[in-house]
A and B are shown apart, each in its own frame.
Chain A
């Protein structure tokens, strides 16, 4: 070492606070938006997956597995660059980003929802059917109330991961927190400070959420 120790200096970041906050806002907006859209996708997919008809379930299994078993980064790039070529239409970055993130997390939600409903013992169906409940009534009054309780912990975990997943949209120039980081890096040539800051911000958003998730999980476990 010849005296070239890196001199850390975070002070310049203050002047970029507007950009950073905007980026964080975009990140949070994408997270919440795609969680909600993904939930709709996952709910429909997960419940239809319980159908016995293979013609219904086969395409849904294909969708879920394709999105679960390929890298999200590849999906984003593919939706943004390849899909427009295939379809012959223009897909703006924010549309591609929203679409992919929703479908991606929706695939995981679908499995959580399907698994939660499937985990309810057959005896519960038997008992509810035996007192004359219709299928929809069994679902609403007996199965879902129990299944939702089992779905909450994995749903919260998946949603927390989703916040980090949104950082990948920076690759197609969606101006999220990470993207703003690269912009600031390009202007300042100080990637170490910038990316450290980005990581710290993600941590301080996510850490309280993971604590909350653990708390909920413990409370649900106790009430069983």
Chain B
């Protein structure tokens, strides 16, 4: 039986009066890739941020690897800074806007986790960072500052930075949405390579074709709920939920494979 790497159970999150997540449950097996698609404002990014505890869920349970966090009434006593940091350290995250540290070079960014969080010796951290930069095809950009890199290069450094913590899972939040079209491919290639190497990932994406190719499971979110999930061939080609159909109808490469809504 496959091992569940990420287990999200009945997760709720409100921003003020706005219910952003309304009882999300999702399991991700070790080594599998789950793609979350859905319209803007459906709660995809918030879900991902909750898995990494960058947002504090109102209710529910999140387990990543062997660490579990519970949220809800009676458990409102906030988790300590130390607990949260330890949890996040094991969960890699890549952001839409890269969020590289502009005052550090590419290698400095990648080294930040090992040297500051893990307190690894500098030369050791540098060795790891160099290997990871090579892995994402940027060995020659180690000493460049983020401002000297293209969007695609920045995002690849950001991926290397997340990998440097040797995370058990990776969370990718619309990692190509801020990129010029011609730079999307180089980033997706790195993500695809990670998937092939067996990295457990949740990917929030607008790249439906990419989701189809790389994901083992596609979940469609709408209004804070996963309305439909299943293998990509099923959800993307033969969606059953009307919201999923309406959403996918906008991606014309799939237009031929199923009738639009109405």
Interface bin, chain A: 20 to 34
B92 touches A130 (CB 8 A): yes
Q: Contacts A123-B95, A123-B97 given: A134-B82 contact, CB under 8 Å? A: yes
- Which B residues lie within 8 Å of A133 (CB)? 85, 112-113, 116-117
Task: Report if B162 contacts A (CB, 8 A).
Answer: yes
Which single member of A121, A129, A141 contacts B88 (CB below 8 Å)?
A129
Interface mask (B88-115 → A, CB under 8 Å = 1, otherwise 0): 1111110101011111000000001100
Q: Contacts A124-B101, A145-B103 given: A130-B162 contact, CB under 8 Å? A: yes
Q: How many residues of B contact A (CB 8 A)?
A: 31
| Interface Cβ pair total, 8 Å cutoff | 71
Which single member of B85, B90, B161, B165 contacts A129 (CB below 8 Å)?
B85
Task: Report if B222 contacts A (CB, 8 A).
Answer: no
- Which B residues lie within 8 Å of A142 (CB)? 101, 112
Which single member of B86, B147, B164 contacts A224 (CB below 8 Å)?
B147
**Assembly CA distance A129 to B165 (angstroms):** 12
Interface mask (A112-144 → B, CB under 8 Å = 1, otherwise 0): 000000000101101111111111010001100
Majority secondary structure of chain A interface residues (helix, strand, loop or mixed): helix
Which residue of chain A is the closest to B113 with respect to CB atoms?
A131
Which single member of B54, B89, B92, B113 contacts A126 (CB below 8 Å)?
B54
**Assembly CA distance A141 to B81 (angstroms):** 17
**Assembly CA distance A146 to B88 (angstroms):** 23
**Assembly CA distance A142 to B99 (angstroms):** 11
B86 touches A127 (CB 8 A): no
Residue of A128, A135, A149 with most partner-chain B CB within 10 A: A128
- Which A residues lie within 8 Å of B49 (CB)? 126
Task: Report if B200 contacts A (CB, 8 A).
Answer: no
Residues of A participating in the B interface, judged by any CB pair closer than 8 Å: 121, 123-124, 126-135, 137, 141-142, 145-146, 149, 224
